[in-house]
Amino acid sequence: MTEPILRLENVRKTFPGVIANDQVYLDIRVGEIHALLGENGAGKSTLMNCLYGVYRPDGGKIFWKGKEVDIYQARDAIALGIGMVHQHFKLVPPLTVTENVVLGLPSKREPFLDVKTLDKEIGEIAKRYGFDIDPTAQIWQLPVGVQQRVEILKALYRKAELLILDEPTAVLTPQEVEELFSVLKNLTKMGLSIIFITHKLEEVMAVCDRVTVLRLGKVIDTVNTSDTSTRELAKMMVGREVFMTVNKPELVPGEVVLKLNAVSALDNRGLKAVNDISLEVRRNEILGIAGVDGNGQTELAEVVTGLRPATGGKVEILGKEATNRSPLEIMEMGVAYIPPDRQHTGLLMDFSITENLIGKSYYEEPISKKGVFQKDAVNTFTEKAIKDYDVRTPGPELKAKSLSGGNQQKVVLARELSSNPDLLVAAQPVRGLDVGATEYVHDRMVEARSKGAAILLISTELEEILSLSDRIAVMFEGKIMGILPGKNADIHEIGAMMAGVHQTESGTVVREAEKPL
Amino acid sequence: MNKESKIKEIWTAYLDKSFSITVPLAAILLAFLVSGIIMLIWGANPLEAYEALFAGAFGSPNAFATTLERTTPLIFTGLAVTLGYRCGFFNVGAEGQLYMGAIAAIWVGIMLPNLTGWILIPLAALASAFMGVLWISIPAFLKAKRGINEVLTTLLMNYIAIQYFEWEIRVDHFKEGVLDYYGNVPEWGFLNYFIGLKDPTQPYPKTPLLTDNTFMPSLKRLMELPFVENLFGNMVWYQEFVKVPAIGRMTLTPVLGLITAGLLFFLLFRTVTGYKARAVGINPAAAKFMGINVPNTLLTTALISGALGGLAGGMEVLGTQHRVIPNFLVSAGFDGIPVALIGGLHPFGALLSAVFFGALRAGSNRMQVVTTIPVAVVYIIQALAILFAIAGTTIDFQAILKKNRLKRAAAKKAALEAAHAGEGEASRV
């Protein structure tokens, strides 16, 4: 057997109070796509940051082509031939592809930049690897999938032999994912090795040769994808069997709770983000909104909850006019909201758990009377909420930021659901949570549905939408491309809609641009 | 073992809680230490200096009365900054609010000289609070409705206030029947209150001394109340006590400062208003998600903060000076910022740090007289205390505790392993 290009031996990295990686053994063979699979917080990113020189491992050895190496900083890693594509691209939008690729490298004609020669050179490299990229295009003009290829090109231009891709599919449509996969397979044929960081099992099975599973910072096993199954991998990943589907009782949808009629709204930049949307959500029903991040879903949720003004159309909640009411008025109409960003908008990190839990009932009796908090009532309320929602904390007086992500989300759930809302708007309710906490949140949402709540679920995770929703609406560039029944929904059809293909009355699909006038 | 761990737990919890007190205290101690070294280099004896400083602040009834006088305005401006900061409104305009509050108290005192003190004093205090509100209202509205940076606007409003104040005390204020400095009969009108407050009989810029029904009740007056006198009149300590002149300068104003701090604590931590204000201060976006009207909360809190700033000036006029002169309170408004910061942005913390600042001011003169160390050293101590306190807030105390705990656990584990290894070898032999 040939020498692996990269070998990690007993690598260990600790942070104060946390062991991020321990006893990590890993070998990457030349020309393979090697998946690094694990839940959020399993230590994948820490390990790769150790490899890329962002962190220094506390112990263990790194071998590059059989020779032991010390990587002090990213520059060392690049010099060895390691390239990394971060989940959030490190590109400068107003610069061209060429300028981005050569950024940070010395020019051959210092202090001048020989743009024409470079354009040509980079165009040739792109062609050699089968990328369809115009080197003179500015980054902001390019679709996300192409931007990602620019990142890969950046690494290739620096003569990378090993590519690390950190959750590369998180921002892509299903079609773009397929394109990426073919690019990756092509690259390995040309002798490159790839580390593919992900927590999505299907992707591992689809594109990777071998997979190493990390759990709680340790390597559980390395196996060939041909010898394993998603079920087995999931078990290794979480340490127990996971049921991929949520147990959801059959319910007949009741009265209409939320009704949107031709609603439009602008995003923070003043551009149209929500465009003429009409839909209904009924009692005992979960309407899932699928779509690639940034297609107006968050703005839609904010319009419904009164946080963003609607520029047109009508919002009705339980038959009552609710367009452009204040967030407080809408809250009092029985609407609860799980914001997409727990850290910044969901919770007040510097408030105590108690103060966060009363975040929706602070102004009402018995929590406060005539504007003064009632200590006993507050304590009773908090104790009950902590018990009912199983918040694991040494005490309610601790700050919210001392809790783990899952427990933080439980505090949000307790705050939002304890009033038994008529409508729950849940935006990315499980973002960044591990499998256990995700299951808990989903169970609670299904329970709220059984109690008669109407739920508007917004998620960029197709799997979450598919397993929870009674009906699925797909959003693309602020418009609803179509609404499908949740049961037996065709993932390819949803994928097509996410990429902007419209559903017509006859059931066939037409590309938005090709629609007859 | 169990008991020990329990004690440790309580100790840790105590340290954790008292951290907000420990940092400022350590900062103040360090400031004294470093200033002492500076004095040594300068060739003075720091111990002598600190002794004089302390004696000048607390050594006699007179010294104590001075400390109280210096402390009171700092309590109010410190509270004004504390409250604003808690809501994310950095009020650096306490100086201007203080000046305007002082003028308002003088207005009421001159306008209604014949009212009885029980009505006049609260009225004057209310007027000063109202002027403070008026003075902060422009920055408050701009911040709440338009998002304009309050640091800039409140700061600039200071200069308007100070210049207006300087003008007021330089233009003669005429009353019917009073001749001006040159013996002419002046014209009199209501507008005169707003364009001139200078005592026309004086060559220097100062306002007329207010009548004594505007004087805040003092300890002396309390002791001289008929029923108190009847109660203790024939006791020796009473007769001695009323002879001490300093008790005439110990007025109700520091007590009012104390009560205000208590009320502010209640407002911030026990009421819905305070809850909303703190939520907005921590994270306006999250506060909005909780249904809180962020602009209105900001506005309300800023206006209360302005009222406190105005009260600082009113209290100084009613309790201590009874008139105003240029620089009648040297930067007490700006000093509200370090008072609040060293006080850990807590009302009671502000109270304590105001006493620290007040004592430094009160004691510095004696220090200069006794040891020839210049008063300016006090500002060095002050500045160092602020620097150390700010540096101290960046220490992550919990992380340190955790690290120590882990280290101990690791050491224990290593010791245990070593012991096991020893046993193993022993059994093999």
CATH architecture of A6-238: 3-Layer(aba) Sandwich (3.40)
Answer yes or no: is pLDDT of B146 > 50.
yes
Amino acid at A98: T
- For A8-41, write each residue's pLDDT tens digit: 998 888 776 567 788 889 999 999 999 998 876 6
Q: Are B353 and B11 in contact (CB under 8 A)?
A: no
List the single range of A80-84, A428-432, A469-473 with lowest mean pLDDT. A428-432
B189 confidence band (pLDDT: 50, 70, 90): low
Local structure of A305: helix, strand or coil: coil
B407 Cα to chain A: minimum distance (Å): 10
Domains A6-238 and A256-334+419-514 share a fold: yes
Show the DSSP H helices in A162-280 as ranges: 174-189, 201-207, 230-238
Do B285 and A345 make contact, defined as CB atoms within 8 angstroms? yes
Tokens, residue B232: 């203790």
Residue ranges of domains in chain A: 6-238, 256-334+419-514, 344-407
Tell if the CB–CB gap between B283 and A348 is shorter than 8 Å. yes
Nearest Cα of chain A lies from the Cα of B287 at a distance, in angstroms, of 8
Predicted confidence band of residue B379 (pLDDT cuts 50, 70, 90): confident
A307 contacts B289? CB cut-off 8 A: yes
Peptide bond into A366 cis (omega under 30): yes
Of the two residues B246 and A194, the one the predictor is more confident about is A194
Chain A with chain B: Cβ pairs closer than 8 A:
67
- Residues from chain A that touch B282, judged by Cβ atoms under 8 A, are 348-351
Alpha carbon of A348: minimum distance to chain B alpha carbons (Å): 6
| First vs last C-alpha separation in chain B | 34
Q: List CB contacts of A23: < 8 A, sequence separation 6 or more.
A: A10, A11, A12, A218, A219
Q: What is the pLDDT of residue A455?
A: 93
At residue B10, the pLDDT reads 58
For residues A52-68, one letter each, b for 16 or more C-beta atoms within 10 angstroms of the residue's C-beta and e for the rest, the string is: bbebebeebebbbeeee
Helices B347-371, B2-42: crossing angle, 10 deg rounding:
30
Q: Do A373 and B279 touch (CB under 8 A)?
A: no
B193 or B112, higher pLDDT: B112
Instruction: Kindly report the average pLDDT of chain A as a whole number.
Output: 85
pLDDT of B1 higher than 50: no
Percent of chain A with pLDDT over 70: 93
Instruction: State which fold the A256-334+419-514 domain adopts.
Output: Rossmann fold (3.40.50)
In Å, what is the CA distance from A475 to each residue of A69, A313, A428, A486? 48, 17, 15, 15
Q: Do A344 and B283 make contact, defined as CB atoms within 8 angstroms? A: yes
Question: What residues of A are in contact with residue B399 (Cβ under 8 Å)?
Answer: 16-17
Question: Helices (DSSP H) in A327-395: which residue ranges?
Answer: 327-332, 353-357, 375-388
pLDDT of A240 higher than 50: yes
pLDDT of A293 higher than 80:
no
> Can you tell me the distance from the alpha carbon of A273 to that of A289, in angstroms, rounded to the nearest whole number?
15
Give the model's confidence band at A506: pLDDT under 50 very low, under 70 low, under 90 confident, else very high: very low
| Residue B27 binned pLDDT confidence (cut-offs 50, 70, 90) | confident
Identity of residue A148: Q
b/e burial code for range B204-222 (CB count within 10 A of at least 16 → b): ebbbbebbebbbbbbbbbe
CB-based contact A362 B286, cutoff 8 Å: no
Which of B272, B282, B288 has its CB closest to that of A307?
B288
Give the DSSP letter of residue A263.
E
Which of B286, B291, B293 is opposite residue A347, by nearest beta carbon? Answer: B286
Instruction: Pick B272's closest partner by Cβ from A328, A339, A368.
Output: A368
Distance CA A191, CA A492 (A): 32
DSSP state of A271: S
Tell me, what's the pLDDT at A170? Answer: 74
**Which single residue is written with the structure tokens 């008790």?**
B247
Choose among B390, B316, B323, B324: nearest CA to B353: B390
Residue A101 to chain B, least CA–CA distance (Å): 37
Token representation of residue A229 = 């199954």
